[in-house]
Amino acid sequence: AQSVTQLGSHVSVSEGALVLLRCNYSSSVPPYLFWYVQYPNQGLQLLLKYTTGATLVKGINGFEAEFKKSETSFHLTKPSAHMSDAAEYFCAVRGSARQLTFGSGTQLTVLP
Protein backbone atom coordinates (compact mmCIF):
# COMPACT_ATOMS: atom_id res chain seq x y z
CA ALA A 1 0.00 0.00 0.00
CA GLN A 2 1.10 3.55 -0.57
CA SER A 3 -0.02 6.95 0.62
CA VAL A 4 0.93 10.60 0.50
CA THR A 5 0.49 13.33 3.07
CA GLN A 6 0.82 16.95 2.11
CA LEU A 7 1.21 19.18 5.14
CA GLY A 8 -0.60 22.47 4.75
CA SER A 9 -3.58 22.70 2.45
CA HIS A 10 -2.86 26.40 1.91
CA VAL A 11 0.52 28.15 1.78
CA SER A 12 1.03 31.86 1.22
CA VAL A 13 4.36 33.46 0.37
CA SER A 14 5.44 36.89 -0.79
CA GLU A 15 6.75 37.37 -4.29
CA GLY A 16 10.48 36.69 -4.23
CA ALA A 17 10.34 34.57 -1.07
CA LEU A 18 11.23 30.92 -0.71
CA VAL A 19 8.55 28.40 -1.58
CA LEU A 20 8.46 25.19 0.50
CA LEU A 21 5.68 22.66 -0.01
CA ARG A 22 5.84 19.56 2.14
CA CYS A 23 5.20 15.98 1.12
CA ASN A 24 5.62 12.77 3.10
CA TYR A 25 4.98 9.38 1.59
CA SER A 26 4.48 5.80 2.61
CA SER A 27 5.38 2.95 0.30
CA SER A 28 6.14 -0.72 0.78
CA VAL A 29 8.62 -0.68 -2.10
CA PRO A 30 11.18 1.89 -3.28
CA PRO A 31 8.95 4.67 -4.52
CA TYR A 32 8.80 6.76 -7.60
CA LEU A 33 7.76 10.26 -6.56
CA PHE A 34 6.20 13.07 -8.55
CA TRP A 35 5.11 16.66 -8.18
CA TYR A 36 2.35 17.99 -10.41
CA VAL A 37 0.90 21.49 -10.67
CA GLN A 38 -2.69 22.31 -11.51
CA TYR A 39 -3.82 25.73 -12.65
CA PRO A 40 -7.52 26.64 -12.35
CA ASN A 41 -9.78 24.62 -14.62
CA GLN A 42 -6.86 22.71 -16.12
CA GLY A 43 -5.34 19.26 -15.92
CA LEU A 44 -2.14 18.31 -14.13
CA GLN A 45 1.27 19.34 -15.42
CA LEU A 46 4.35 17.38 -14.39
CA LEU A 47 6.86 19.54 -12.50
CA LEU A 48 9.47 16.92 -11.64
CA LYS A 49 9.97 13.28 -10.75
CA TYR A 50 12.28 11.07 -8.71
CA THR A 51 12.94 7.53 -9.84
CA THR A 52 16.41 6.38 -8.85
CA GLY A 53 19.85 7.93 -8.57
CA ALA A 54 20.42 11.54 -7.57
CA THR A 55 18.18 12.49 -4.68
CA LEU A 56 18.01 16.18 -5.61
CA VAL A 57 15.74 16.52 -8.59
CA LYS A 58 15.36 19.67 -10.67
CA GLY A 59 12.17 20.39 -12.55
CA ILE A 60 10.58 23.03 -14.66
CA ASN A 61 10.02 26.68 -13.72
CA GLY A 62 12.88 26.67 -11.18
CA PHE A 63 11.38 24.07 -8.85
CA GLU A 64 13.36 21.28 -7.23
CA ALA A 65 12.72 18.53 -4.71
CA GLU A 66 14.90 16.33 -2.55
CA PHE A 67 14.16 12.68 -1.84
CA LYS A 68 15.00 11.85 1.77
CA LYS A 69 14.48 8.16 2.42
CA SER A 70 15.19 8.38 6.15
CA GLU A 71 12.48 11.02 6.53
CA THR A 72 10.16 9.53 3.86
CA SER A 73 9.89 13.03 2.46
CA PHE A 74 9.93 14.69 -0.94
CA HIS A 75 9.49 18.40 -0.27
CA LEU A 76 9.19 20.85 -3.17
CA THR A 77 11.13 24.12 -3.11
CA LYS A 78 11.74 27.18 -5.22
CA PRO A 79 14.18 29.89 -4.13
CA SER A 80 12.12 32.84 -5.31
CA ALA A 81 8.36 32.81 -5.81
CA HIS A 82 6.77 34.42 -8.83
CA MET A 83 3.16 35.49 -9.21
CA SER A 84 2.72 32.89 -11.94
CA ASP A 85 3.51 30.12 -9.42
CA ALA A 86 0.10 30.55 -7.79
CA ALA A 87 -1.64 27.23 -8.34
CA GLU A 88 -2.43 23.94 -6.63
CA TYR A 89 0.40 21.48 -6.19
CA PHE A 90 0.04 17.73 -5.84
CA CYS A 91 2.59 15.22 -4.64
CA ALA A 92 2.15 11.65 -5.87
CA VAL A 93 3.77 8.28 -5.31
CA ARG A 94 3.87 5.22 -7.53
CA GLY A 95 4.73 2.05 -5.72
CA SER A 96 4.42 -1.55 -6.81
CA ALA A 97 1.16 -0.90 -8.62
CA ARG A 98 1.17 1.30 -11.68
CA GLN A 99 -1.35 3.84 -10.47
CA LEU A 100 -0.44 7.12 -8.86
CA THR A 101 -1.59 7.87 -5.34
CA PHE A 102 -1.98 11.59 -4.80
CA GLY A 103 -1.94 13.79 -1.77
CA SER A 104 -4.82 16.15 -1.10
CA GLY A 105 -2.95 19.09 -2.58
CA THR A 106 -1.50 22.40 -1.43
CA GLN A 107 -2.89 25.67 -2.72
CA LEU A 108 -0.05 28.15 -3.16
CA THR A 109 -0.85 31.86 -3.01
CA VAL A 110 1.81 34.39 -3.99
CA LEU A 111 1.36 37.84 -2.47
CA PRO A 112 2.64 40.95 -4.25
Partner 1 sequence: ETGVTQSPTHLIKTRGQQVTLRCSSQSGHNTVSWYQQALGQGPQFIFQYYREEENGRGNFPPRFSGLQFPNYSSELNVNALELDDSALYLCASSSNSGGVGTDTQYFGPGTRLTVL
Residue 36 · residue 100 · CB < 8 Å: no
**Whole-angstrom Cα distance, residue 48 to residue 35?**
6
What part of residues 16-75 is at the interface with partner 1 (CB under 8 A)?
32, 34, 36, 41-46, 49, 51
Number of neighbouring beta carbons within 10 Å of residue 48: 19
What part of residues 85-104 is at the interface with partner 1 (CB under 8 A)?
90, 92, 94, 97-104
For the bound state, the minimum distance from the C-beta of residue 102 to partner 1, rounded and expressed in Å, comes to 4
For the bound state, the minimum distance from the C-beta of residue 47 to partner 1, rounded and expressed in Å, comes to 12
Element (H, E) at 16: none
For the bound state, the minimum distance from the C-beta of residue 80 to partner 1, rounded and expressed in Å, comes to 27
For the bound state, the minimum distance from the C-beta of residue 112 to partner 1, rounded and expressed in Å, comes to 25
Burial of 5 (0-12, 13-18, 19+ CB in 10 A): middle
Q: Where on the chain is the footprint of partner 1 (CB under 8 A)? A: 4, 32, 34, 36, 41-46, 49, 51, 90, 92, 94, 97-105
